[in-house]
């Protein structure tokens, strides 16, 4: 594994596991954690390790959050993607699939135009809704305050279009990010190339558990 910094701050880095020089794709992971400092790339370590063990070329992005207000996380992910595409790891003709969980899904959807495909796992798509419902122990209020305009800017559902083929995975029993937001997002972008995998039993953190039955579906979609 190699660490590459895309900025001067301690948290502005990504880690790379390059397994196959002949592979035609890269999987780039973005963790969630409701913008809180205590949550890091370790949240998706099991998923990263499993994809690595299956021989995929995998990257995981760390970014600033917590005291670093919006749009810092989004700017960091954008900068990380630019740095990766300028690196020697990327051959230029390889597919990049951006995989984000929760707030990482938010960041993946906001940066979808910079990649070839997106997988959004229980993504935060409507930040004002998250605020109004007090989800994640009032995570949106904690991070954004009461600035609804800033929350709208941070919401993928406010995008004007969606260009990258996208898979959204969500559980009907997710109580951290509600599945109704995923349905709303899919309805708004009904003419986009979106696949929905909705599971009855998929708690929020199980989305990134490679032992869950959802994992083979992810591999099938990635390989398709």
Q: Residue range 154-160: average pLDDT?
A: 98
Treating both helix axes as pointing N-terminal to C-terminal, what angle do 72-86 and 103-110 enclose, rounded to 10 degrees?
Answer: 60
Cβ atoms of residues 222 and 27 within 8 Å: yes
Report yes or no on whether pTM surpasses 0.85. Answer: yes
Provide the pLDDT for residue 74. Answer: 99
Rounded-to-integer distance, Cα 194 and Cα 192, Å: 6
Question: Distance between CA 199 and CA 210 in Å, rounded?
Answer: 15
Instruction: Label residue 21 by pLDDT band (50, 70, 90).
Output: confident
* Stretch 149-173: mean pLDDT: 98
Question: Is a pLDDT exceeding 80 seen at residue 205?
Answer: yes
* Residues 187, 189, 195: CA angle, nearest 5 degrees: 85
Host domain of residue 214: 2-223
pLDDT category of residue 23 using cuts at 50, 70 and 90:
confident
Q: Which CATH number belongs to the domain containing residue 112 in this structure?
A: 3.40.50.1820
How do residues 33-65 score in pLDDT, each as one tens digit? 999 999 999 999 999 999 999 999 999 999 999
How many domains is the chain partitioned into structurally?
Answer: 1
Q: Is the pLDDT of residue 115 over 90?
A: yes
């Amino acid at each position: 594994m190699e660490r590459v910094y895309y900025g001067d701050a301690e948290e502005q880095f990504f880690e790379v596991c390059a397994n196959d020089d002949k592979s035609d794709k890269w999987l780039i992971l973005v963790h969630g954690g409701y913008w809180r400092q205590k949550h890091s790339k370790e949240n998706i370590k099991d998923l990263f390790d499993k994809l690595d063990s299956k021989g995929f070329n995998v990257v995981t992005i760390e970014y600033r959050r917590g005291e670093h207000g919006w749009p810092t996380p989004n700017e960091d992910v954008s900068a990380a993607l630019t740095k990766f595409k300028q690196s020697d790891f990327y051959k230029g003709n390889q597919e990049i699939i951006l995989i984000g969980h929760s707030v990482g899904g938010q960041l993946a959807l906001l940066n979808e135009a910079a990649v070839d495909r997106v997988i959004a796992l229980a993504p935060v798509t409507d930040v004002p809704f998250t605020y109004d419902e007090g989800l994640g122990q009032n995570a949106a209020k904690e991070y954004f305050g009461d600035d609804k305009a800033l929350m709208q800017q941070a919401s993928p559902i406010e995008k004007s279009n969606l260009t990258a083929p996208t898979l959204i995975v969500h559980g009907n029993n997710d109580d951290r990010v509600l599945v109704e937001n995923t349905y709303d997002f899919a309805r708004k972008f009904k003419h986009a190339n979106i696949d929905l995998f909705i599971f009855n039993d998929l708690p929020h953190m199980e989305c990134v558990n490679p032992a869950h039955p959802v994992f083979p579906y992810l591999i099938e979609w990635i390989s398709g």
